[in-house]
């Protein structure tokens, strides 16, 4: 399995200096930046629009991914690709025509991902394997930062890893929610390759670099899934 990557969520960042927060996270050693896009409908909160992401794109060449927690992702796919997001992740719960949505993301030149809420199944996966680049397993319920990791989702991560392995396709398994030094190893062992961390990076008492180093150490010591 590929070397694990740390994806920084900026959901809990200082919004008055987002560009600087992105620079700080990249300097600390994160591999990617995730933008949690919320519309106040699919989830209660409102966060970033495409213009905000576009304004921060020039600060770094580190990959951006947009996690679209929105009720109608199809209407805004091109906006976030044009803003500079190399990966677009939609929720299976909001896509009645998932095959078409993923195909459209790829047509726009981005990598296509699907996020799955804790209570949702993976039954759809075999039917969209050819359109899929990322499979994100939510380890919290979406909409708020700082939630506790749901350990029961490790079984779903393992199931996702098995589906991807059996398909022979290069689909990345991502986990999002409650990732910290206390949970990262278990998520990695279950099959995660990309680990989204927010609060653990942004509130570490010794700063962002120490937070990234702590996560890297835990991940290096963990055993990856076969």
pLDDT in tens, 149-182: 999 999 999 999 999 999 999 999 999 999 999 9
Question: Which residues does the annotation mark as catalytic?
Answer: 36, 176
- CATH domain 6-221 topology: TIM Barrel (3.20.20)
Distant-in-sequence contacts of 24-27, Cβ < 8 A, 24+ apart? 24/208, 25/201, 25/208, 26/59, 26/60, 26/62, 27/208, 27/209
Compute the average pLDDT of residues 94-108. Answer: 98
Q: Residues 18-30: what's their mean pLDDT? A: 97
pLDDT digits (tens, 9 = 90+) for 102-132: 999 999 999 999 999 999 999 999 999 999 9
Cβ 175 vs Cβ 196: under 8 Å: yes
Instruction: In whole angstroms, give the CA distance from residue 28 to residue 24.
Output: 6
Predicted local distance difference test score (pLDDT) of residue 225: 66
The pLDDT assigned to 165 comes to 95
Evaluate if residue 91 carries a pLDDT over 90.
Answer: yes
Q: Which two tokens stand for residue 195?
A: 């680990």
The annotated binding site for a divalent metal cation is made up of 36, 67, 176
Rounded distance between C-alpha atoms, residue 193 and residue 60, angstroms? 22
Residue 147: pLDDT band with limits 50, 70, 90: confident
Inter-residue contact 38 to 47 (CB < 8 Å)? yes
Lowest mean per-residue pLDDT among 16-25, 103-112, 159-168, 214-223: 214-223
Share of residues in the chain with pLDDT > 70 (%): 97
pLDDT at residue 81 tops 70:
yes
pLDDT mean over 37-51: 92
- Known binding-site positions: 9, 36, 67, 143-146, 176, 178, 198-199
What number is the average pLDDT over the span 212-221? Answer: 95
């Amino acid at each position: 399995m590929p070397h694990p990557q740390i994806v920084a969520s900026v959901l809990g960042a200082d919004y008055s200096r987002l560009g600087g927060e992105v620079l700080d996270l990249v300097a600390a050693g994160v591999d990617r930046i995730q933008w949690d896009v919320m519309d106040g409908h699919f989830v209660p909160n409102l966060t970033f629009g495409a213009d905000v992401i576009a304004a921060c794109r020039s600060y770094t060449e580190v990959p951006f991914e947009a996690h679209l927690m929105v009720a109608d992702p199809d209407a805004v796919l091109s906006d976030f690709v044009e803003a500079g997001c190399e990966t677009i992740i939609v929720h299976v719960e909001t896509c009645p025509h998932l095959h078409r949505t993923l195909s459209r993301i790829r047509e726009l030149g981005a990598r296509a991902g699907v996020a799955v809420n804790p209570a949702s199944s993976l039954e759809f996966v075999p039917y969209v394997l050819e359109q899929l680049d990322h499979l994100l397993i939510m380890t919290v319920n979406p909409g708020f930062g700082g939630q506790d990791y749901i350990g029961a989702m490790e079984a779903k991560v393992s199931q996702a890893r098995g589906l991807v392995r059996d398909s022979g396709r290069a689909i990345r398994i991502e986990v999002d929610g409650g990732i910290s030094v206390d949970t990262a190893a278990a998520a990695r062992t279950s099959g995660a390759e990309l680990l989204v961390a927010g609060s653990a990076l942004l509130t570490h008492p010794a700063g962002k670099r120490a937070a990234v180093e702590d996560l890297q150490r835990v991940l290096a010591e963990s055993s990856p899934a076969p």
